[in-house]
Amino acid sequence: MRPTSLLLTVVIALGPVAGIPVLAQTQAQTQAQTQGSDIAGGPVAAKITELTETMKIGPLFVVLGEEGIAYGKSLEADMFPGSGGARWDAAVAAIYDVPALRQRFDAALGDQLAADPAAIAEMIAFFGSDLGQRILSLEIDARRAFLDDGVEEAAQVTADTMRAEGNPRIDLITRLADANDLIEMNVAGSLTGSLAFLQGMTREGLQGSDADENQMMSDVWSQEDQVRTDTTTWLYSYLALAYQPLSDADLEAYIAFSETPAGQKLNTALFSAFEVVFTQVSYDLGRAAIRAMQGSDI
């Protein structure tokens, strides 16, 4: 999978936020889901629901599910070409089951934001405005457009040209990315997703035997520089396409919200919630992949 923006750029590769082994993540996920259930049905839960509806989380997850299916096909082509078949397709579809992913996400987001209803109200106010809704629609439309490799390649050429010509829009995109630490948090997420995938493969392949965790982490983090380069290229291409219809004043308003305490809290909460969802996705994909390679039941 790939990244997104304040809303969408919190999902790069297979999941955000770095460095915590997957078994520890599983405990964190259980805690988040349990705590999230504690607010179910209450006024805070209603506000979280209003926030996720306002932020178009449902349509976003539809696109992420489509990306996941496409990613599953590329994994098969790279790792066990032509041998995954219907069982692999079914495994990938189950891992990217959108209602299940959305349920985990909502519970984790609620856990992150439940203590600050005033901040939730500010988030709803911004993203519920005409500008906020337009931004969200543009982000999701651009994400869906990037399912076409030709569109992504053309957007990269456009972004490279803008940078070479010193287009002021690149400065605005940089300020937005910096306000939300999008590149570094997405790099960390990509590396964590890779680690989770390897852990899933190794633990499934060794049937529970201890794996060399340090070696896996070393192998993954050796890719950091290349991942940062790829992330930066993708991010600027995507944001240049998504925000092309916006005026400079629109982007200034988006940056201003991003720099508020509520904007910062939302950014952190989104990264954390996507971490809960997509670290597990990565781990499950690794398990399914090693089973497919070994010819066992997926």
Residue 214 has a pLDDT of 84
Residue 40 has a pLDDT of 52
Within-domain flag for 2:
no
Within-domain flag for 265:
yes
Cβ(256)–Cβ(6) under 8 Å? Answer: no
Q: How confident is the model at residue 43 (pLDDT cuts 50, 70, 90)?
A: confident
Within-domain flag for 285:
yes
Q: What tokens were used for 187? A: 């790099």
Q: State the maximum Cα–Cα separation within the chain, in Å, rounded to a whole number.
A: 56
Distance CA 193, CA 275 (A): 9
Residue 45 has a pLDDT of 86
Cβ(87)–Cβ(298) under 8 Å? Answer: yes
DSSP track, 43-71: HHHHHHHHHHHHTTHHHHHHHHHHHHHHH
Q: Over the chain, what is the mean pLDDT?
A: 86
Q: What is the mean pLDDT of residues 152-158?
A: 97
Q: What is the mean pLDDT of residues 113-120?
A: 95
DSSP track, 193-204: HHHHHHHHHHHH
Within-domain flag for 3:
no
Within-domain flag for 12:
yes
Distance CA 185, CA 232 (A): 12
Residue 294 has a pLDDT of 86
Range of the domain at 263: 8-294
Within-domain flag for 1:
no
Residue 31: phi and psi, rounded to 5, are -65, -45
Q: What is the mean pLDDT of residues 135-142?
A: 97
Q: What is the mean pLDDT of residues 263-276?
A: 93
145 or 31, which is more confident: 145
Residue 213 has a pLDDT of 81
Within-domain flag for 116:
yes
Q: How confident is the model at residue 211 (pLDDT cuts 50, 70, 90)?
A: low
Within-domain flag for 225:
yes
DSSP classification of residue 36: H
Question: Structure pTM?
Answer: 0.84
Residue 210 has a pLDDT of 54
Lowest-confidence pick of 14-23, 57-66, 174-183, 189-198: 14-23
Q: What is the mean pLDDT of residues 122-145?
A: 97
Measuring CA to CA, which residue among 180, 178, 138, 169 is closest to residue 247?
Answer: 169
Whether the predicted pLDDT of 142 surpasses 60: yes
**Burial (CB count <10 Å: 0-12, 13-18, 19+), residue 162:** middle
Cβ within 8 Å of residue 203, ≥6 positions away: 209, 211, 287
Q: How confident is the model at residue 44 (pLDDT cuts 50, 70, 90)?
A: confident
205-227 as b/e: b if 16+ CB within 10 A: beeeeeeeeeebbeebeeeeeeb
- Residue written as tokens 């982007």? 251
Whether the predicted pLDDT of 33 surpasses 60: no
Whether the predicted pLDDT of 229 surpasses 90: yes
pLDDT exceeding 90 applies to what percent of the chain?
Answer: 73
Lowest-confidence pick of 88-97, 250-259, 266-275: 266-275
Whether the predicted pLDDT of 177 surpasses 80: yes
Distance CA 114, CA 261 (A): 15
Whether the predicted pLDDT of 140 surpasses 50: yes
Q: How confident is the model at residue 105 (pLDDT cuts 50, 70, 90)?
A: very high
Q: What is the mean pLDDT of residues 96-108?
A: 96
Q: How many domains does the chain have?
A: 1
